[in-house]
Amino acid sequence: MARSGVIIAGLSSSSGKTLTSLGLLRAFKQQGHNISAAKTGPDYIDPGFHHAALNINHNDDHTSPQNASVNLDGFAMPPEMLRHLAEQQSGDLLIIEGVMGLYDGGAGSAVTLAQHLGLPIILVMDCRGQAETSAEIAAALKHRLAAEGVDLAGVILNRISTPRHGDGIKTHCHELGVPVLGALPNAADIDMPSRHLGLVQAFDLAAAGRLNHLLDQAASMMTEHLDLDAIMNAASPLTPSKSPHEALPPPGQKIAVAFDAAFGFAYPHLLEGWRRQGAEVKTFSPLADDAPWADADFIFLPGGYPELHLETLANAKIFQQGMQHAAQNQVPIYGECGGYMVLGQGIINEHGETVPMLGLLDLVTSFAAPKRVLGYRKLNQRNHALPFWPDALYGHEFHFTHATHAQGEALFDAEDKSGQTIGPMGLVKGQIAGSYAHIIAGDRLKP
């Protein structure tokens, strides 16, 4: 169980948090430290990179290994759940990657998480176009955070143009009482490619033979330019949980989960939580034309990038037959976001062509004319359609596709982060259900 931790945060998105976190994870692992990882907020791509940075591979049935990364979401999870999930991570040090800017996300921010877990923050600062101003910002934040019970353990200066540039900022930080843990030069040669939902998945970079090289480059950069001992010593003990508090009860005892480059967005904290509560969880690959586990009593199709693999999915006959057989035998099937799309009649590709899918819901979705939908959701079940979970759920929506046809009974009545009504969401047809939302946890107000 994790004993101590530190949060790597930034002033904004693209400040360098991800590359720094991955480089530190790989560098500490190379030094022989027992490290684990976490991600602030609802991101489902970065944990896959955390796995890879720690040299973790899934075994044949994809049961989660030790040191798996976990999402810690202060909006969807109560403090006791956050503490429980954090301490379930193994190792001597838990490195938590922040989200967006330091305070962004309100209850889901890096600062709020630091308060709940009793952890210090290391701030990665993009210093392009700045000198002494960077130090002044860091000093002001250190004072503000201290008033809120959070320690700014130090800063990492990022994208430093010249040694003189970095030295000037370090001097001013020292004068203002802000520890500097290192200075990173511009790293244009370390490329972390993105696509419409964020970073290209670790799956895809590994398949292209690029992932380990990228992670080793990041580790070398951190080892050369940062004080790794000081970063290790900056960690503080985690605030312990008082009792186990899992995000959701298992929806079955034998749970089959789709898991590959098209269905890679399952939250690790859910799968591991179901295992801790006694369920057996195995994964299968629709892209490899696998059928779900034959005697599974629940099938979960997570989100991912099915829109990038439409022809493969349309020709995966064993997968299709297995899903149809399960539906005919009244096995509950739940899909979210990309998985929801695959449960429908078809998906319209970027060229306007409809590619047939499973046809288990009266739904057609489209990747033509993509438009971003993003935000936290409170999801109130209609008619207790998912009886294994609380009627009130918390989740997150992030997609560029949209439904062009959705006929049938809605699964949820949805609200946004502020409690404003969004309207009906998702579909349910007998034992088949799904929506665009990624569920994170049950009602945070209940034990």
Q: Is the pLDDT of residue 181 over 80?
A: yes
208 vs 280, higher pLDDT: 280
Query: Mean pLDDT across the stretch 330-347?
Result: 98
Query: Mean pLDDT across the stretch 276-282?
Result: 96
CATH superfamily of 4-237: P-loop containing nucleotide triphosphate hydrolases (3.40.50.300)
Q: What is the dihedral of CA 74, 80, 83, 86, to 10 degrees?
A: -70
Q: pLDDT at position 56, please?
A: 58
Query: Mean pLDDT across the stretch 234-260?
Result: 95
Give the pLDDT band (50/70/90) at residue 49. Answer: confident
Residue 319 Cα distances to 285, 306, 342, angstroms: 8, 14, 12
Q: pLDDT at position 44, please?
A: 77
Query: Mean pLDDT across the stretch 380-392?
Result: 95
Q: Which residues, including other chains, have CB under 8 Å from residue 143's CB and lie 6 or more apart?
A: none
Give the pLDDT band (50/70/90) at residue 60. Answer: very low
For the chain, how many residues are written? Answer: 447
The Cα 275–Cα 269 span in angstroms is: 10
Query: Mean pLDDT across the stretch 203-229?
Result: 86
Q: Where does CATH 3.40.50.300 sit in the chain?
A: 4-237
> Whole-number mean pLDDT of the chain?
91
Q: Point out the least confidently predicted range of 45-59, 90-104, 187-201, 420-434.
A: 187-201
* Catalytic-residue membership of 127: no
Q: Is the pLDDT of residue 57 over 80?
A: no
Query: Mean pLDDT across the stretch 277-300?
Result: 97
From 9, 150, 178, 337, active-site residue: 337
Query: Mean pLDDT across the stretch 211-236?
Result: 95
DSSP labels, 251-289: S-SEEEEE-STTS----HHHHHHHHHTT-EEEEE-GGGT
Q: Is the pLDDT of residue 436 over 90?
A: yes
Q: pLDDT at position 48, please?
A: 82
Q: Point out the least confidently predicted range of 88-92, 226-230, 272-276, 438-442.
A: 88-92
Q: pLDDT at position 188, please?
A: 57
254-442: CATH topology is Rossmann fold (3.40.50)
Query: Mean pLDDT across the stretch 79-103?
Result: 94
Closest CA to 184 of 166, 169, 202: 166
The percent of residues in the chain predicted with pLDDT above 90, rounded, is 81
